[in-house]
Structure 1
Amino acid sequence: MTSFQCHWRALSLLISVSFFLRCHGNNDMPVQLNDDVLGLIVFKSDLHDPSSYLASWNEDDVNPCSWQFVQCNPVSGRVSEVSLDGLGLSGKIGRGLEKLQHLMVLSLSHNNLSGTISPSLTLSNTLERLNLSHNALSGLIPTSFVNMSSIKFLDLSQNSFSGPVPDDFFDSCFSLHHLSLAWNMFEGQIPGSISRCSSLNNLDLSNNRFSGNVDFGGIWSLDRLRNLDLSKNTLSGSLPDGISSIHNLKEMLLQGNQFSGPLPNDIGLCLHLNALDLSDNQFSGELPESFGRLNSLTLFKASNNHFTSEFPQWIGKMTSLEYLELSNNQFTGSIPQSIGELTSLTYLSISNNKLVGNIPPSLSSCTRLSVIRLRGNGFNGTIPEGLFGLGLEEIDLSHNGLVGSVPAGSGRLLESLTNLDLSYNLLQGNIPAETGLLSKLRYLNLSWNDLHSQMPPEFGLLQNLTVLDLRNSALYGSVPADICDSGNLAVLQLDGNSLKGSIPDEIGNCTSLYLLSLSHNNLTGSIPKSMSKLNKLKILKLEFNELSGEIPMELGMLQSLLAVNISYNRLTGRLPTGSIFQNLGKSSLEGNLGLCSPLLEGPCKMNVPKPLVLDPNAYNNQMGPQRQRNESSLSSQSHRHRFLSVSAIVAISASFVIVLGVIAVSLLNVSVRRRLTFVDNALESMCSSSSRSGSPATGKLILFDSQSSSEWISNPESLLNKASEIGEGVFGTVYKVPLGSQGRVVAIKKLITSNIIQYPEDFDREVRILGKARHQNLIALKGYYWTPQLQLLVTEYAPNGSLQSKLHERLPSSPPLSWPIRFKILLGTAKGLAHLHHSFRPPIIHYNIKPSNILLDENHNPKISDFGLARLLTKLDRHVMSNRFQSALGYVAPELACQSLRVNEKCDVYGFGVMILELVTGRRPVEYGEDNVLILNDHVRVLLEQGNVLECVDQSMSEYPEDEVLPVLKLAMVCTSQIPSSRPTMAEVVQILQVIKTPVPQRMEVF
C-alpha cells in the first residue's frame, strides 16, 4: 500500500467516524481512542518505512496501545509515548501528530526525516520530552509547534535548521531542563529570554552560526546549570564576573568563538567544575590565580589565545588534572617543578609559547602521562632521562634548543611509543640502537640536529614505521638496504646529509612509499630500475646528488607521481614517457647537461646509434670494401663533399616541409567537410550494437523503477511551465516537476528536437543503457517519454542545485563551500566518472564535464548529470557544436576542440582537471580583464613553478590543509596535460585523491 493510499484511507476512516458520532451523539471513549489511531496512521502516511518497522500500525485497530514503539497511559488508555529512534525512517513530520492530545514523549532521533516543520503544526500541550536529533530537518523553528511551558527535554541537534531563534521562543521555558540546538545553522544572537529557563541543567548551542555578544549576566543567573556548551560559533564579547553564582557548574565549553578580554576572577569558585575549554578564542591577560582552587578540574584547554605573563606557578594545585592544553599562547618563564604533582595527568601540551629553561625532571613523576608536546619554545639543557622511562605514546620536543644525546628508552617506552619528534634541536651523538626496538613506532623525526651518526641498521626492524624524517642531521654512510624491510614505510626523507654510495636496489621493496626524498647528498651511481615497483609513489626528490646514467624508462609506469625533481645530477638520455616526466618544468631538470629536453641547453647524450647522416664513422662502417676504396681515392675533395652533403640535407628538408604543407592543406579541406560528423563517428564507435526488439509504446511515460508504466499522458506539456524551469543546457531545458499523486519530485529534461533518434525502439535502447549507469555519484535516469514531436528524460532531482551556482553564483548571505565539502565533491565526481569509464564496455564518455553538470544533493554529495546524452543524437550539428564549445569554454580538451585526435576518456580527465582548479581557486577557467585574458590552467602552472601556488587558493575558505590542497593542484596539472596519454585514468585519479585524504601525522612535511 502506498503512502498516499494510507493517507486516503486514514482520512476516509476519520470522516466515517465523525459521521457515526454525529448521528449517534456519542462523545465518549471511542472518540478519544480513534483520535490516537487516526493521528498515528496519518503521521505514518507521511513516512517511508523501508524495513517495515511500523507494520503493526493498523488503522482497523480500536486503539494503538499494542502497536510497536507506542506506549499508552494505563489509566486513560491514551497514547503517551511514541519512540521511533534509529529506524531508518524518511519523509516529513506531518500534522497527524496534532491528534495525539495526551502525548508526553515524542522521540524520532537518528532517522532521515527531512523538510521543514509546518508553521501551523502544534504538538500536545502535555508534551514533556521531544527529541528530533540526528535527522535532516531544515528551515525555521516554528514558535508554536511545542509548548515551552510544559516541555522539559528538547533536542533538535544534528539537523539543518537555520535562521534566528525567535526572541520569544523561551518566554515560558521555566520547566525546561535540557536544551540542545547543536550542529545546525542557526544564526543571529542568542535570545536573552533564555535566562528565563530557571530550571535549565544542560544548555548546548554549539556548532551553529550564532554571533554577537552573549548576555552572560543572564546565563550566570541560571544557578541550576550543570553543562554549558557554546562552542564553535562566532560569539564575541567578554566574560564578566559572576560565574561563581552557578555553584554546581561542571562543564563549560566556549572553544571556537571570538571571545576576548580577561577571564572572570571568580571562576575558581566553581568548585565542581571538571571540564573547561576556552581554546581558539581571543582571551588575553593572565590566568586568574583562583584557578588553583579547581581541585575537581580534569580537563583544561586554553590553547590558541593571547594569554601572557609567566607560566602559572600554582599549576601543581590542580591535582585532578588529566588533560592540560595551553599551546599557542605567549606564556613566559619556566615550567615549575610542582608540575610533577599532577600525578593523574595523561596529556600535556604547552607548545608554541615563550618558555625557557630546562624541562623539569619532576615530569617523570607523572607516571600516567601518555602524550607530551613542548615544541616551539626555548627550552635548553638535556632531555630528562626519566621522561623516556614512562609509558609515553607521543613525545614532541621539537623546535627548541635541547642539547646532549637522544636518551635510550626503557622497556615501558619501547612497548608504547608511536610518535617521536625531536627535530630542530641541537642534539648530538649516535642514534640509540634501542630505537629499532620501538615496536609500535609509526612516526620518527630527528631532522635538523647535529647527530653525526650513521643510520642504525635496526631501523629495518620497525614493522609499523610509516614516516622516517632524518633530514639535515649530519648523517654519513650509505642508505641501508634493509630500510624498507617492514614494507609499511610511506615517507622517507633523508635530504641534506652526507650519505654516499648508490641508491640500493632494495628500494623497490618500499612498496608503500608515496614520498621519497634523497636530495642534497653525495649519492652516486644510477637510479635503480627497481623504483618502478613503487606504484604508490607521488613525490620523488633526487636533486643535488651525483647520480649518473640514463633514467630507467620503467619509471614512466609510475602513474601516481605528482612531483619529481632530478636537477643537478649527471643524468643523461631521454626522459621516460608517460607519468609526469614529460611535463616537468625546467627547475626540475636543470643541472643535468646530458638530459634530452627542449627546456635545457647543452648537448643531449643518448646511448643509441646516431643517424647515418650525422655519424660519418657509422656510415663508413656500413660501406662495402670497394666503396671504401673509392671514397679514399676522393679524400682530396672531402671539403666539397661535406658542403654538398649539407646542401643536400637542406634541400631534402625543404622539400619535405613543402610536401607536408600540401598534405596538411588537403587534409584540412577534408576536415572542413567532415568537421560536423567527427565527434558523432567517434561516439558511434563506442555504441554497442543490439538487435531491435519490439517497439515500445509511444506517448507513454516509461519508468524504469516501476513494475508497470504510468498512465497515458494526454498533455505532457502541462508538466512543464516557465515557473518550474530550473536550467537550460546544450541538450535542452530542465524542469522541476512533482510526478504522480504522491508528489514525488523529479527533474525532467525536455530534449532539443533536432537530430534526436527518430525510431522509438532505438531511443528506448539507448536510454535504457544510460539508465543502467547507477552510482551514488550519478544522477539516476528514471524513465522517459517519447513521441516524434516531444522527448522527455525523467531523472532524480538534486535539491542543492549545481556546483556552478555554489561557486560562481553564490549570494553574499550564503556561506562559501568549505574545503572538506570541496574535497568531497572532487572525490565523488571522480568516482562517478570512473564508474562511467571503467564499468561499461565500450565506456560511457561524458564529453562535457563542468560545474553546471555537477549537481549536489542535500548533503553536498556530487551527482554527475547529462552523461551520455550525445548517444541520443543522430549527429551533432553546427548549432550544438557551437553551443557546446562556447558553454564549455576552458573545459574542452585540446584534442576535442581541434578534432585532431580520437575522442576517448582522457577528454573527461581534462575537464575534471579544470574543475579541480575551479574548486580550489574559486575562479572561472577563463576570465576576461580590461587588458588581458586569464587562462586559469596557465596561471596556476606558472605559480606552481614559482613556488607561490597557494596564493591562488580561494580566499573565501578561512581554513584549508596545505598538505591536501598542494597535491590536489598538482593532480590538476597532470590531468590537464596537453598530451592525452600523459593524463591519468579516472580510476587512478580516485586512488590519488584517496591517498591525499589519508591522514598523516600532522607535523609531517611532505613538500
Structure 2
Amino acid sequence: MAEELNNARLSMATLHLLLLLFIRFVPAMAGDVDLLVSFKNSLPNPSLLSSWNPNQGPCSFQGVVCKGGHVSSLTLQGIALSPDFRSVSNLLSIQTLETLTLRSVNLTGDISAPTKCSDQLTGLDLSSNNLHGSVSDALSFATSCSSLQSLNLSSNSIGVYPLKKGAPLPPVFPLKSLDLSYNKMESTGDLQWVLSGLGILQTLDLSANKIAGSIPEIANCTSLEYFDLSSNLFAGTVPAGTFSNCFSLTYLNLSSNHFTGNAPPDLASCTRLNTLSLSYNNFSGEIPILSLTSMSNLKLLELGFNNFSGSLSGSISKLTSLEILDLSSNGFSGPIPASLCTNGASSLKELYLQNNYFTGSIPDSLSNCAELVSLDLSLNELSGSIPGTLGTLSNLKDLIMWQNYLDGDIPAELSSLKSLENLILDYNGLTGMMPDLGNCTGLNWISLASNRLTGSIPAWIGKLESLAILKLGNNSFTGPIPAELGDCKSLVWLDLNGNLLNGSIPPELAKQSGKVAVSLLTAKRYVYLRNDENSQCHGKGSLLEFGGIRSDDLTRMPSKRLCNFTRVYMGNTQYTFNNNGSMIFLDLSYNQLDGHIPKELGMLYYLMILNLGHNLLSGLIPSEMGRLAHVAVLDLSHNQLEGPIPASFSAMSLSEIDLSNNRLNGSIPELGSLATFPKYVYENNSGLCGFPLPPCNSNDDPSGNGSHQHSHHEASLAGSVALGLLFSLFCIFGLVIIAIESRKRQKKKEESNAAGDFYFDSRTQSATISNWKLSGTNALSINLATFDKPLQKLTFADLLEATNGFHNDSLIGSGGFGDVYKAQLKDGKIVAIKKLIHISGQGDREFTAEMETIGKIKHRNLVPLLGYCKVGEERLLVYDYMKYGSLEDVLHDQKKTGMKLSWPARRKIAVGAARGLAFLHHNCIPHIIHRDMKSSNVLLDEHLEARVSDFGMARMMSAMDTHLSVSTLAGTPGYVPPEYYQSFRCTTKGDVYSYGVVLLELLTGRQPTDSADFGEDNNLVGWVKQHSKLKITDVFDQEMLKEDPSLELELLEHLKIACACLDDRPSRRPTMLKVMAMFKEIQAGSTVDSKGSSCPPGASMDGGFMTGMTTLKEGKEEN
C-alpha cells in the first residue's frame, strides 16, 4: 500500500514537472514561430517559404534544424528571397539559435548592429549577397553577438573607410574566423585598425579584393592558422617581422599580387605551414631554402610566375611531405638536383619546372618519386636522353617535356605507364621509332612533332579510344597513313605534316564523324601558334600544352624565329559539339601522298582547318567537300588536282584558301567568298579564269570544235586574207595615233593630279561639281545596296590639304585597321578619313572589289563608306563624320567627351547597334560578318543614333594579308567569343556574342577588360557571372539607378538579352533578328521569355542565373 502511494506521488511530481516544462516550452516555440513568420512576411515574395506555416511547429520549416525542440540552426541558400538586412534581426532574436546561414539569397542593405542577438549564436554566414558597409561596421555587428566565433561576409560589397585620427583602439573581438573575400575593399583603411582587435583570430580571408598598399600588420595574431591575401593589389616588399610570430600558421597565400624583392625573410618561424603560395608576383633572388626546409609539414609550395633565379638546392628534398612543387616561369638555372627524389618515401605528386633555364640531363632518380602524377619540364635547356626508369612511375598521367634538347630514343619502358594521359615531347631531337604505347589506353594527347623520328606510323594508335590529339608532324615517318587511325573514337586533332608519308589518304579517317564525344581534354590550357609556311617551316601551326608558361616567353623558342609565329591563340580546350562531333584539325601537308582526295572528308562537319597541300594528289576536287560548313582554312595547293573548283565551295565560309599550283580549270565560282580572295591563291592553274584572275573568254568555242569548211573557193580565201591584212594595217596605224594622244593626255593628267584617283559617293556633295567617274569593277551582289549615283573623283592632294598633311592635330582615333582623321573638304563638308595600315601583297583589283562591296551597303545604323582612294601603297577610306565619336569614348571617358548617357539614350544606342548588325547578317547577300564588333566601332551621330562602323574591314584584311595578329582576325580581347580561340573561323553568332558584351557595357558602365575590377584572369562577362550569385542588379551602372530606381526591372529585361547573346554555345545564341524581336517585346511591356538555353551570365527576375532563352519567332526588321 505504501509502495502504491509512493508511486502515485512520483507520478504526480513527474506530471507537475512536465506541466512546468510545457508551460515554458510552448511560449518559446510560439516565439520562434512568430519570429520566423515575421521574417517570411517581410519578403517581397513570401510564397518562396511556403512550408513556413504558422499553424505548424518550426522544426518542420524549410531550412530549420531543432535541438531539444528548439530552433538551433537555420540554413537558406540559393533562393532569391531578397530580404532587407533589417529583417534579419528577427532571426537573430531567436534565443536558441546557434548558426544562421543566408547564403546567396539576394540579401541587401547596409550592415549594422542588430537590436538583439542570440547569446548562443556562434556562426553567421551571409556570403554571396549584396550587403554594403565597411569592415568596422561588420565588426561592430559582430560585437553585438557576444558568442559569435565565425563570420562569413564573402562575395558582398563590403569596403573600407579611412581611419580617423585619434580613433580609440577597438575592443577585443571574439571572432576566430573572418571571411571578407570577394568584396570591394580597395585600401587598408580601417582594416589595420580592426585587425589589431582580433587577437584570437584563426582564419582570415581577404582574397579577391582590390586592396592596394603594403601588407597589413598581423604580428599580434599569434593564433592565426589560415591567412589568404591572394588576388589583390598589394605591392612592395614584405616587411621583416611580418610573420615572425605566426607560429600557428598552416596556410599562407600571397599569390596574384605585385610584391617585389626577396621572399618573406621570416618564413622560418612558420614551421607548421602545409600550404605556401607566392606565385604570380614579382619576387626575385634565390628562394629561401633554409626557411623552407624548416617546414616539415609543407605539402604545397607554389612559387611560379615570379623572377626567382639561381640554382635549385638539393636541400629541397628535405621537404618529405611535399606533394606539389611549382617553380614554373622563373629564372632558375643549373641542373635539376638528383636528390630531389632521394628515396621511395617521397610524397611528391606534381612537379612543375617548365619555363626556366635548367640544364643537364633528366635525373634517373625522379623514378624514386613513386607517387608522381604530373611531370612538366618544358621550355628548358635539358639535354641527353629520357630516362627509361620513368616507366616505373605507375601513377604518372602527364609527361610533358617539349622544347628542350633531348635526344635518343623514346624509352620503350613508357609502355608500362598504363595511367598515362598526356605525352608531349615536341621540339626536341628525339630519334628512332615510336615505341609501342598500345597498353597506355588512357592516352588523350600524343605530341611528338618536330623531332627526328623515323619508321612507320603504328597501327596500334587506332586502339586508343580516348586519344583526342595526335601530333607527329615534322619528323621522318614513312609509309602509308594507317587506316586504323579512323578507329580513334575521340580524335579531333590530327597533324602528320612534314613527313615522308606515301600512298593515298585513307577514307577511314572520317569513320567516326558524327560520333565524337566531348573529349577528356576539356579545359586543358593550350596555345595554338599559326606560322608563316616557308621552306624550313611546314604546316598550318602548332598546338602546345601551355600550363605554367608566360606567353611572352614564346620568343625563347628557336622555332618562333624560324616559323615567324605571327598569330597566337590561347585559351582552354572546349568543343562546340556534344556527342555528334568530328575532327576539327587535319594537316597532311608536305608529304608524298598520291591518289584522289576521298569524298568522305566532306563528312567531317566540324573540321575547321584542312591542309592537304604540297603532296602528289590528283583527280577532281570532290564536290562533297563543300559540305564542310565550319572550315575556315583550306589548303590544297601544290598538288596535281584537275577539273573545276566545285560550285559547292560557294557555300563555305572561308577565311583562307590556297588552290595554287595545280591543274585546275574553268571559272572561279562567283557566288560566296571565292571571288574576294587575292589572285595568288589561284595562280599556276593554267585553266582557271574569272575574278580575281583574268576574265573567261566568253567567245571561245566551249566545244573545242576545230573543223573547217572546205567549200570556199581559193579566190574567196585569197581575197579574205588580203582584206584581213589591209584591215590589220589600218587598225595598227589607228592604235599608234590613239596611243600618242593618250600619252599626251596622261602626261597632262599627271601634272595636274600627282597622287592618284579618289572615288566619292556623289550624294554627299554639291551639285555644282561635275567631274564624275564610274568604277568598272563588279562587286559581290548586295541586296538593297547599290550606289544611287556615280562616284566623285577627287585628288589625293585634296585629302592632304583637308587633313593638314595627316597631321596629329587632325587625328581623332586609332584602331586595328589604321588611323582616323577629321577633314573638311573644300565645299565645307566634314568627313572622317581612315588611313589603313599597309597591306602587304594586296592588289588594286582586290582592294577595289572589297571597297565596291562595302560601299554599296547603306543603312541608317551603319556608317556609310563615301569613297576610297588608292595611291601607291596607301589606302584611304572616307566616311560620314560622326559628331559624338565612339560609344567607347562617350561611355568610358566622360572627361574627354563631357557627356553622360542616360538610360533612354543607352537603350536607343543598344537597339540601333542591333538593327545595324541585323542588317549585315540578314539583308546582305552574301551575309556580312563584322568580326570586330565592339563599343569603339559603334559611332554616334548628332542625334545619338548608333552607327556600326568598320564592317567588312576584318574580312578584307584577313583575305589580303597573312601577317596580321589574332586581334585583327578574330576581334578584340574582351569581345571575342570563346569558340574563336579554337575554331579560327568567324561567324554571325560570334558577332552576336560581341554585341552581348557591348550591351553589358551599356548596362554596367564598365569596360570589357578592366583588370582593376575583374582581376587578371577575368573580364566583364566573367565578372557578371560572379555577381549573378549575388543580387544581380549590383552589376548595373549605379549612377543610373540613383537617378531612377524604377529602372531596375527594365534593366533586368535587357540583361536577359545580353545573357542570351553571351551563351558559351553558339547554337544557343539568338540571331540579331531575334534580338530585335526581344527588344520589341520589352517595348510592348512584356517580359522576355527565358526558357530553353543556358546562358552564361543569365539573369532572371529573381536575381539568379537564367536557365535559358526560348526560340523566338523569326521576324524581319524594317530598315
Structure 1 pair 974–552 and aligned structure 2 pair: CA distance change class (3 A): farther
> Are residues 1:354 and 2:357 paired?
yes
- The CA RMSD measured in Å over matched residues stands at 4.8
Residue 369 (structure 1) shift: 0.8
84, 87, 92: which one aligns with 2:83: 92
Q: Report the 3-state secondary structure (helix = DSSP H, G, I; strand = E; otherwise coil) of the residue aligned with 1:307.
A: strand
Q: Is the 8 A contact 1:612 1:619 kept in 2?
A: no
Q: Provide the residue aligned with 1:112 in structure 2.
A: 105
**Whole-Å Cα distance in 1 between the matches of residues 299 and 490 of structure 2?**
37
Q: Residues 956 and 620 (structure 1 numbering): CA distance in 2 closer, same or farther, change over 3 Å?
A: closer
Deviation at 1:948, TM superposition (A): 1.8
For residues 909-931 of structure 1, give each alpha carbon's deviation from its aligned partner in whole angstroms, at most 9, with x where no partner exists.
x5xx43x6225xx5315699xxx
Q: Which residue of 2 aligns with 1:384?
A: 387
| Native 8 Å contact 1:572 1:605 kept in 2 | no
Amino acid at match of 1:116: G
Q: Does 1:249 align with 2:249?
A: yes
Opposite residue 936 of structure 2, the aligned amino acid is R
Within the candidate set 916, 923, 928, 2:936 is matched to 923
Which amino acid is 1:445 matched to?
Answer: S
TM-score (norm 1): 0.62
Q: Cα deviations across residues 57-99 of structure 1 (Å, max 9, x unaligned)?
A: 41x67x857756446797xx9x764412346352223533324
TM-score with structure 2 setting the length: 0.56
Shift, 1:551, TM fit: 1.9
More displaced stretch, 491-500 vs 140-149: 140-149
Higher relative contact order at CA 8 Å, sep ≥6: structure 1 or structure 2?
A: 2
Residue pair 2:308, 2:330 contacting (<8 A) in 1 also: yes
1:551 aligned partner:
621
Structure 1 counterpart of 2:410, which letter?
A: V
Q: What does the per-residue CA deviation read over 1:807-828, in whole Å, with 9 as the maximum and x for residues that have no partner?
A: 67654799xxxxxxxxxxxxxx
Deviation at 1:487, TM superposition (A): 2.6
Tell me how far apart the structure 1 counterparts of residues 171 and 109 of structure 2 sit (CA, whole Å): 24
Q: Which runs of 5+ in 1 are unaligned?
A: 1-27, 622-626, 647-659, 661-666, 673-803, 815-849, 856-865, 867-883, 977-985, 998-1007
Aligned match of 2:206: 205
Alignment of 1:337-376 (within 5 A): 337-341=338-342, 343-376=346-379
Compute the displacement of 1:479 (Å). Answer: 1.7
Distance in 2 (CA, whole Å) between partners of 1:539 and 1:521 is 17
From 32, 41, 48, the equivalent of 1:45 is: 41
Q: Would the aligned equivalents of 2:312 and 2:332 in 1 still touch at CA under 8 Å?
A: yes
- Counterpart of 1:874 in structure 2 is none
User: Please, which of 700, 707, 729 is the counterpart of residue 614 of structure 1?
Assistant: 700
Cross-structure match for 2:952: 937
1:605 aligns with 2:687: yes
Aligned partner (choices 400, 407, 428) of residue 404 of structure 2: 400
Shift of the 234–572 alpha-carbon distance from structure 1 to 2, 3 Å rule, reads farther
Structure 1 residues 334 and 134, CA gap change in structure 2 (3 angstroms): same
Q: Cα deviations across residues 856-889 of structure 1 (Å, max 9, x unaligned)? A: xxxxxxxxxx8xxxxxxxxxxxxxxxxx6x9845
Aligned equivalents of 2:939, 2:473: Cα separation in 1: 41
Of 51, 59, 74, the match for 1:55: 51
Structure 1 residue 412: Cα displacement: 4.1
Rounded to whole Å, the distance in 1 between the matches of 2:724 and 2:147 is: 104
* Counterpart mapping for 1:948-963 below 5 A: 948-952=964-968
Structure 1 residues 50 and 302: CA distance shift in structure 2, 3 A:
farther
Check whether the contact 1:134–1:159 (CA below 8 A) recurs between aligned residues.
yes
Equivalent residue runs for 1:149-188 within 5 Å: 149=143, 150=146, 152-156=148-152, 159-161=155-157, 163-164=159-160, 171-172=170-171, 174-188=173-187
The residue identity in structure 1 corresponding to 2:510 is: G
Displacement of 1:442: 0.7
Distance change (3 Å), C-alpha of 1:926 and 1:456: farther
Distance change >3 Å, CA 668–CA 956, structure 1 → 2: closer
Q: Which among 533, 538, 542 is matched to residue 608 of structure 2?
A: 538
* Structure 2 gap ranges (5+): 1-23, 514-581, 669-674, 690-695, 729-775, 777-782, 789-884, 896-904, 942-946, 993-1062, 1071-1092, 1097-1119
Residues 82 and 478 (structure 1), Cα distance of their counterparts in 2 relative to 1, 3 Å cut: same
Residue among 920, 933, 955 paired with 1:893: 920
Shift in Å at residue 287 of structure 1? 1.1
State the SS of the aligned residue for 1:472.
Answer: coil
Equivalent pair of 1:49/1:88 in contact (CA under 8 Å): no
User: In the alignment, is the contact (CA less than 8 A) between 2:332 and 2:357 conserved in 1?
Assistant: yes
Contact 1:573 1:606 in 2 (8 A): no
**Does residue 321 of the first structure (1) align with residue 391 of the second (2)?**
no
Q: Residue 964 of structure 1: CA displacement?
A: 4.3
- For 1:362 and 1:300, the matched residues in 2 are separated by 21
- Contact 2:416–2:439 under 8 Å retained in 1: no
Does structure 2 conserve the Cα–Cα contact (< 8 Å) formed by 1:230 and 1:254?
Answer: yes
Task: Note closer, same or farther for the CA distance 1:987–1:282 as it changes in structure 2 (3 Å cut).
Answer: closer
Contact 1:109 1:132 in 2 (8 A): yes
CA distance in 2, matches of 1:374, 1:321: 18
CA apart distance, 1:636: 6.7
CA contact (8 A) 2:35 2:94 kept: no
Answering whether residue 329 of structure 2 is matched by residue 259 of structure 1, we say no
| Alpha-carbon distance in structure 2 between the residues aligned to 1:638 and 1:586 | 52
* Separation (CA, whole Å) in 2 of partners of 1:851 and 1:454: 63
Equivalents in 2 of 1:854, 1:531: separation in Å? Answer: 45
In structure 2, do the counterparts of structure 1 residues 540 and 668 end up closer, same or farther at CA, with 3 Å as the change threshold? closer
Partner of 2:672: none
Distance in structure 2 (CA, Å) of the matches to 1:431 and 1:954: 37
1: CA distance between counterparts of 2:718 and 2:990?
A: 56
With 576-585 and 182-191 compared, the bigger mean Cα shift is at 576-585
Contact 1:46 1:91 in 2 (8 A): no
Moved more, 522-531 or 416-425: 522-531
Count of aligned positions: 715
From 463, 484, 487, the counterpart of 1:485: 487
Task: Confirm or deny: 8 A CA contact 1:185 1:208 kept in the other structure.
Answer: yes
Q: Percent identity?
A: 27
How does 1:391-790 map onto structure 2 within 5 Å? 391=394, 392-409=396-413, 412-413=416-417, 415-432=418-435, 434-511=436-513, 512-577=582-647, 584=654, 588-592=658-662, 594=664, 596-597=667-668, 598=675, 599-600=678-679, 601=683, 605=687, 613-615=699-701, 618-619=704-705
The amino acid across from 1:43 in the alignment is F
Q: Give the 3-state SS of the residue equivalent to 1:918 in structure 2.
A: coil
Matched, 1:232 2:265: no
Deviation at 1:357, TM superposition (A): 0.7
Q: In structure 2, what is the equivalent of residue 946 of structure 1? A: 962
CA separation of 1:552/1:369 partners in 2, compared to 1, >3 Å: closer, same or farther? same
Do the aligned partners of 2:82 and 2:105 also contact (CA within 8 Å) in 1? yes
Once the 2 structures are TM-superposed, how far is the Cα of residue 568 of structure 1 from its aligned partner?
A: 3.2
| SS of alignment partner, residue 450 of structure 2 | coil
Q: What SS class does the counterpart of residue 540 from structure 1 fall into?
A: strand
Amino acid at match of 1:518: L
* Residue identity opposite 2:39 in structure 1: F
Distance in 2 separating the partners of 1:138 and 1:643: 98
Q: Residues 425 and 87 (structure 1 numbering): CA distance in 2 closer, same or farther, change over 3 Å?
A: closer
How much does 1:278 deviate?
1.0
Q: 1:125 to 1:515 in 2, by over 3 A?
A: same
Name the aligned partner's letter for residue 525 of structure 1: G
1:990 equivalent among 1053, 1067, 1078: 1067
Q: Cα distance 1:453–1:853, how it changes in 2: closer, same or farther (>3 A)?
A: farther
8 A contact 2:226–2:250 mirrored in 1? yes
Change (3 A) 1:964 1:279: farther
Distance 1:525 1:956, change over 3 A: closer
Q: CA deviation at 1:637?
A: 8.0
SS at match of 1:482: helix
* Change in 2 beyond 3 A, CA 1:237/1:125: farther
Secondary structure of the corresponding residue to residue 188 of structure 1: coil
Contact 1:575 1:582 in 2 (8 A): no
Shift of residue 137, structure 1, vs aligned partner:
2.3
- 2:568 is matched with none
